[in-house]
Every structure is written in C-alpha cells, then in structure tokens.
Amino acid sequence: MLSARSLFQEIHANDEAFGLFCSIAAKGEDQGGWENGRIARLVADQELAPKIARHGADEEKHGRIFNALLHKRGLSPVRVPDSTDYTMILERQGIGLAHSRLRRDEPLTEADVITYLAHSRVTEQRAAEQMKLLCKVFGDDPEIGRAMRMISADEDNHLAYCHEELLRLAAQGHGRRILGTLQETAKAEVRTYRDVSLAVMGRMGEILRWPKAKSAALAAGIHAVHLYERAGGWQRMTTLKMPAHRNALGGPVPVEALD
C-alpha cells in the first residue's frame, strides 16, 4: 500500500534518492536565503527589514541543515534538475520579485513589498504543510528527526510573520492589491507544485526502479491533489488571520545548530 510514510522512508533508505531529496531542499532554502537577504537590504521600512533578514537567515540555516544531513551519510550535493527547481519555475511565471530586480540597488516600492509578502505567504503555507508531514514521518528518527522539527518550527514562524505583516498593510488600505496578488500567486503555485512533484517523483522512480504501476499510481495521486487545489483548495493560501504567535520574527537571530 502506498503512503507518504512508506514513500519517504524508501527515499531515506537509498543514498542516491536521499542525496537528491536533500540537494533539492538545500538549493531551495539557499535561494530563499539570498532573496530575503537582498530584500532586507532594499526595503525602506526599518521595522520590517530586520524581520526579512531573520527570515533569510533561517532559510540559509535550513540549507546548511540539509547539507549536514548529506555529510552525515557521507554524501555530497548533486545537481538539481531544472524541472524540480520550484523557486525558479515560479519566477519564470512572473510570481514574486525577479532576481534581476533584486540585483539592482534600487529601493523596493510598497507594491514590491506586497508582492514579496504575498509570495512568501503562499509558499510558506506549502513549506509549513510539507514539514508537518515530514515531522509525522521522521519526527522520532534519531538521524533526522531533530532537523525536521527545527525546520518545521521555523516555517510556522515564517507563515505567522507573513499573516501579520500583510494584515498590517491591509489595514493601511492595501487590501484589494493584497488579495489580488495572493490569488494570482496561489493559482500559479498549485500548478507549479504539481509539475515539480511529478518531476521529483519521476526521478525518484528512476533511481529506486519503481514498477510502472507504482509510478502511475503516484502520478495519479499528484494529479488528484492538483484537481482538489485547482477546484478551490488554493483558497487556503489566500486567507489572512492574525496569528497567535505575534512578532514571530522579531528579536535577534537565534543560534541553532545540529550536533
């Protein structure tokens, strides 16, 4: 019987599959760290900038964690196929702030900040959900359980921060722009998540030599999730609610490392 637990455990047990999984995750986190670092330097709001910098520092930390998991297994990062590069596929659709924009030393506008926060709110929703799943699968694993719990807690903080900052901007009269940007971003994200999931599982199937029936069943499951999300599930990524944990990215960056 196929299940998320059996699937991830199978990937974890194989060095090549685990190496690809961690490499994909590390690259995405590193990209997020660079993007947030640049945004923190370009944003005019001096109360928001340290929170964005904290977000970027967390993403860089996550990249280091995934690389550390590789090294513990005696593995090195591998090339990430373009078809699995979630961040860059979204950028090519015009979602979020383009890297070409971030490389220019020009202050971000208020519209730019809304674009950034809406993109983060949607993608952090996905990240938080994925990490909760990985915590269910690996939370008690002596090798990677602590890493999954640490990253999951950070993703929850990132999502809380996005909700709070977008609600602050909505109260200043930007609600219509925020909603429109969230809706556009969420609809693009669910398509991208489907395509990247198919690409990742396709490559895992090659590595693990899955029979055609198993690969077909997994692909059907991915398409079923997309149908649900396209039919309305995407709307969970566009709602805003004041989080219980306020100022989640306030204060100094905590020093955390895997032993």
What pLDDT does 258 receive?
Answer: 42
What pLDDT does 3 receive?
Answer: 84
d(CA 32, CA 119): 11
Residues of the chain with pLDDT under 70: 1, 251-259
What pLDDT does 159 receive?
Answer: 97
Closest CA to 52 of 131, 108, 128, 126: 108
Residue with the two structure tokens 């999931």: 197
Q: At what angle do helices 15-42 and 175-208 cross, to 10 degrees?
A: 160
d(CA 134, CA 139): 7
Instruction: Measure CA 233 to chain center.
Output: 18
What pLDDT does 254 receive?
Answer: 58
CA distances from 158 to 5, 27, 119 (A): 25, 18, 12
d(CA 201, CA 205): 6
What pLDDT does 80 receive?
Answer: 95
d(CA 88, CA 42): 21
Dihedral sign computed on CA atoms, order 64, 69, 73, 76:
negative
Instruction: Please tell me the pTM assigned to this model.
Output: 0.94
Q: Which amino acid is at 57?
A: A
Closest CA to 98 of 51, 49, 50, 35: 35
Determine phi and psi for 4, rounding to 5 degrees: -60, -40
SS3 content of the chain, % helix, strand, coil (to 5): 75, 0, 25
Is the distance from CB of 40 to CB of 50 less than 8 angstroms?
yes
Q: Which amino acid is at 252?
A: P
What pLDDT does 37 receive?
Answer: 96
